[in-house]
Structure 1
Amino acid sequence: MTELIECVQGDIARQADIDTVVNAANAQLRSGGGVAGALHRAAGPGLVEACRPLAPIRPGQAVVTEAFELPNRHVIHCLGPVYGVDEPADELLAACYRNALELAERHGIRSIAFPALSAGAFGYPPAEAARIAISTVLTTLPRCPGIERVRFVLFDATSQDLHRRTLATLQGDRA
């Protein structure tokens, strides 16, 4: 399964070789800072219109839209928990990744790129967020045989290194 999961530093809005990107959404599915702002700017106004009837969403929930001007087929929007506010935070964060993968499987999506959900403005401690994300992906992928590749697209080298080390540790635990 190692080749199925990769961790790269980059821009989530520039993943042209991936079917679907995941938006670190807010409850109203509107543009904002970080990932949501980057994806909305790149996708153009069609994304706002597509999101409007789907909002609001709850922490842990995932919904899918077209990708519009992004180089992808779809955007899956996930609302991660705000750390210290939305509880149980670990279960809600895991639900984001699980629900996104299951939604991707139902839509015939073969590749998906995730940001580090909740690890930015929502305040989730990065190491714990990475552990939950990768652990959830590893346990969910066997139930999603149509998904051939999962990419974590991280903002900086520190996050990329953290995710790579976490992936290596968790895969080692499963060997």
Structure 2
Amino acid sequence: MPTVEAVLGDITRQQVDAVVNAANSSLLGGGGVDGAIHAAAGPALLAECRALRSGPLPDGLPVGQAVATGAGDLPARFVVHTVGPNRHAGQTDPELLASCFRRSLEVAAEAGATSVAVPAVGAGAYGWDPDEVARVAVAATRETLAAGRAPGVTLVRFVLSSPAVHAAFERELASS
């Protein structure tokens, strides 16, 4: 079984094959993790995202889905963008949140990644409780890996920038 772990840190500095971006549907950058990843990756990432918008995703990336791009100046090879459900906008279905984690791992595996850094999608500006995000994320990740839907992925590292969110993930990993 692949390793699933949680660390306190900066997702933009992770030495992994793929970094998951908690994106907005426009894919053109934003705040939080999305803004940090775009800033660290540089203009190449934005150019690839604009190409997606002018090509296969003219209406943006739907909630719960994922798409991969290059990683620009990040130490990773890929960025996997996923759009979490926004609780403030009435998107309260945990299945949409779980889909973010499942699809991110599947897309990372399709791109050839073996190691993936994942943030707490939804736990920031989108208003999800960190304990619920941890529960959903860990369950969806373990289910995806156990079912073989992310072949080749040997490491999933939840990278959390807040001690409280990190603690929520540590608790969930220890109890499940």
State the TM-score, normalized to the length of structure 2.
0.91
Q: Which residue of 1 aligns with 2:11?
A: 12
Please, which of 125, 129, 148 is the counterpart of residue 125 of structure 1?
129
1:110 aligns with 2:114: yes
Contact 1:54–1:63 at 8 Å: present in 2 too? no
- 1:13 Cα deviation from its structure 2 partner: 0.5
Contact 1:109–1:146 at 8 Å: present in 2 too? yes
Please, which of 47, 72, 78 is the counterpart of residue 74 of structure 1?
78
Distance 1:62 1:10, change over 3 A: same
Q: Which residue of 1 aligns with 2:64?
A: 60
- 1:168 Cα deviation from its structure 2 partner: 1.2
Q: Which residue of 2 aligns with 1:135?
A: 139
Q: What is the number of residues matched between the two proteins?
A: 168
Please, which of 19, 22, 30 is the counterpart of residue 21 of structure 1?
19
Amino acid across the alignment from 2:47: E
Please, which of 146, 152, 175 is the counterpart of residue 158 of structure 2?
152
SS at match of 2:21: strand
Q: Which residue of 1 aligns with 2:93?
A: 89
Q: Percent identity?
A: 47
Amino acid across the alignment from 1:129: V
SS at match of 1:13: helix
Cα deviations by residue, 1:93-114 (Å, 9 ceiling, x for unpaired) = 1111110111112122100000
Q: Which residue of 2 aligns with 1:38?
A: 36
Distance 2:5 2:138 in 1: 10
1:51 aligns with 2:49: yes
Cα deviations by residue, 1:3-42 (Å, 9 ceiling, x for unpaired) = 60110001110102x1110000011012211101110111
- 1:73 Cα deviation from its structure 2 partner: 0.3
SS at match of 2:174: helix
State the TM-score, normalized to the length of structure 1.
0.91
Q: Which runs of 5+ in 2 are unaligned?
A: 54-59
Contact 2:116–2:156 at 8 Å: present in 1 too? yes
SS at match of 1:22: strand
- 1:50 Cα deviation from its structure 2 partner: 0.1
Contact 1:112–1:149 at 8 Å: present in 2 too? yes
- 1:89 Cα deviation from its structure 2 partner: 2.3
Q: Which residue of 2 aligns with 1:173?
A: none
Contact 1:20–1:111 at 8 Å: present in 2 too? yes
